[in-house]
Amino acid sequence: MPIVDVHTHIYPPTYVSLLRSRKTVPYVRTFADAPDSSRLIILPGEDDPSTPSTSRGRPIGPEYYDIAQKIAFMDQHKIDTSVISLANPWLDFLPAEEAGEAARKINDDVEEICARYEGRLYAFGTLPLSAETAVIVAEVQRLAGLKHMRGVIMGTSGLGNGLDEAALDPVYAALEKYGQLIFLHPHYGLPKEVYGPRANEYGHVLPLALGFPLETTIAVSRMLLSGVWDRFKKLNVLLAHSGGTLPFLAGRIESCLLHDGHLKKQGKTEHRRDVWDILKTNIYLDAVIYSEVGLKAAADASGADRLLFGTDHPFFPPLEEDAKEWHSVTANYGAISKAFKGDDMAAQDVLGNNAVRILKLHS
Ligand code: 5CU
């Protein structure tokens, strides 16, 4: 039975060079007080001058860009196949005139990396979302012809105003037409004020544990409310981190909608697909939630046949230098075996069969 990791990132060498050439977030650099260690600074506000340079962002080593390290990690954790994707913030920050060419170069690099490890690697491509719509649509079409591409990874900002912007419709139409799934992944989190004046004392816990999942939840809710899935009934989206908090909050979203007089007057509470229908028809959820409780909510909301194992490698490496196994991986394996205790078939499906079927791997 195959084990397939659908949530696993890479910064290909071309992208790392781009980050090394930059002076504002996102960038990679070394600081004078620690010249031997490069740091990857990507999240909004991560280079705040009040943070010592040696704890800004995260150390970046070859596990972020060297595919041999990804393969070694897969071997170590018994992962047969990985569907790799460029990590955040993708190409969101590039000026319009540079984005199209950068996307083609990075997608070609990733395609070539996959071809080197036939059968072990597939990928989600990257879209030049700051470019003109025609350039984005052309890249969607081009990706559909690349052997190892199985969809696209996207953040929540879309063309700049979020995923409920009508201007995205031609992109959604192209993704639907070419049968390409969106792997929706957070990056921007929540405004830093919500974390309070002591936020610096809590490291990355609040933005990563709560900001990321809430960002995803809000982005998907906006898609739902703006009727994206009423217009694009076959548009499929894989949500990172088991859907943020969507499985837990879907009932509340549906109830708030039904009780909204303003929406009712506009006829928006009827003649629409409800959240539960979309969760079971258009949405897939990764199994990167590290606990049985969250995983069971995801399975209840979308069905065990729509859940896909993931690791988030190379993020969350073990802090112990001699550790071989990554806690982030064993926690996700453990959650699957507990959530599907007594149902080996469902566990196998989540570990790999679902990904093979949904992403048409090995075909
Ligand atoms: O640790 C982090 O900042 C991240 C990140 O930026 N992206 C991701 O996918 N996981 C963790």
pLDDT per position as a tens digit, 109-154: 999 999 999 999 999 999 999 999 999 999 999 999 999 999 999 9
Q: Whose CA is nearest to atom 11 of ligand 1?
A: 315
Diameter over CA atoms, the chain: 62
Counted domains in the chain: 1
CB of 89 closer than 8 Å to CB of 26: yes
Q: Strand, coil or helix: what is 113?
A: helix
**Closest to 186 (Cα-Cα) out of 280, 288, 99:** 288
Quick one: DSSP state of residue 87?
P
Is the Cβ atom of 18 under 6 angstroms away from ligand 1? no
**Domain membership flag for residue 20:** no
Residue labelled with tokens 């199209």: 100
**Domain membership flag for residue 322:** yes
**Domain membership flag for residue 25:** no
Is the Cβ atom of 312 under 6 angstroms away from ligand 1? yes
Who contacts 66 (Cβ-Cβ below 8 Å, separation ≥6)?
A: none
Q: Strand, coil or helix: what is 250?
A: helix
Is the Cβ atom of 184 under 6 angstroms away from ligand 1? no
Between the CA of 315 and the centroid of ligand 1 the distance, in Å, is 6
Backbone φ and ψ of 128, nearest 5°: -85, 70
Cis geometry, peptide bond prior to residue 2 (ω within 30 degrees of 0): no
Distance CA 67, CA 110 (A): 10
Cis geometry, peptide bond prior to residue 26 (ω within 30 degrees of 0): yes
**Domain membership flag for residue 335:** yes
Between the CA of 363 and the centroid of ligand 1 the distance, in Å, is 31
Between the CA of 88 and the centroid of ligand 1 the distance, in Å, is 7
Between the CA of 360 and the centroid of ligand 1 the distance, in Å, is 27
Is the Cβ atom of 88 under 6 angstroms away from ligand 1? yes
**Domain membership flag for residue 165:** yes
**Closest to 332 (Cα-Cα) out of 284, 305, 300, 298:** 298
Measured over the CA atoms of residue 64, residue 69, residue 70 and residue 76, the dihedral's sign is negative
The pLDDT mean for the chain works out to 96
**Domain membership flag for residue 167:** yes
pLDDT tens digits, the chain, 363 residues: what are they? Answer: 999 999 999 999 999 999 999 999 999 999 888 888 899 999 988 888 887 777 789 999 999 999 999 999 999 999 999 999 999 999 999 999 999 999 999 999 999 999 999 999 999 999 999 999 999 999 999 999 999 999 999 999 999 999 999 999 999 999 999 999 999 999 999 999 999 999 889 989 999 999 999 999 999 999 999 999 999 999 999 999 999 999 999 999 999 999 999 999 999 999 899 999 999 999 999 999 999 999 999 999 999 999 999 999 999 999 998 898 999 999 999 999 999 999 999 999 999 999 999 999 986
Give first-to-last CA distance, the chain, whole Å: 16
DSSP string covering 299-314? HHHH-GGGEE----BT
Question: Which residues form the domain of 216?
Answer: 4-11+64-358
The CATH number assigned to the domain holding 257 equals 3.20.20.140
Residues 202-254 have pLDDT tens digits of: 989 999 999 999 999 999 999 999 999 999 999 999 999 999 999 999 999 99
Is the Cβ atom of 25 under 6 angstroms away from ligand 1? no
How would you class 242 by CB atoms within 10 Å of its CB: exposed for 0-12, middle for 13-18, buried for 19 or more?
A: buried
Alpha helices in 52-192 (DSSP H): 67-76, 96-116, 133-144, 169-177
Between the CA of 150 and the centroid of ligand 1 the distance, in Å, is 22
Amino acid letter at 144? A
Is the Cβ atom of 315 under 6 angstroms away from ligand 1? yes
**Domain membership flag for residue 39:** no
**Domain membership flag for residue 196:** yes
User: Structure tokens of 287?
Assistant: 């199994």
Distance CA 195, CA 193 (A): 5
**Closest to 163 (Cα-Cα) out of 100, 228, 73, 241:** 228
Distance CA 45, CA 278 (A): 34
Q: Strand, coil or helix: what is 38?
A: strand
Q: Whose CA is nearest to atom 6 of ligand 1?
A: 88
- The total number of residues shown for the chain amounts to 363
Give the ligand 1 atom nearest the CA of 7.
Answer: 9
Quick one: DSSP state of residue 158?
B
Q: Whose CA is nearest to atom 8 of ligand 1?
A: 315
Q: Whose CA is nearest to atom 4 of ligand 1?
A: 315
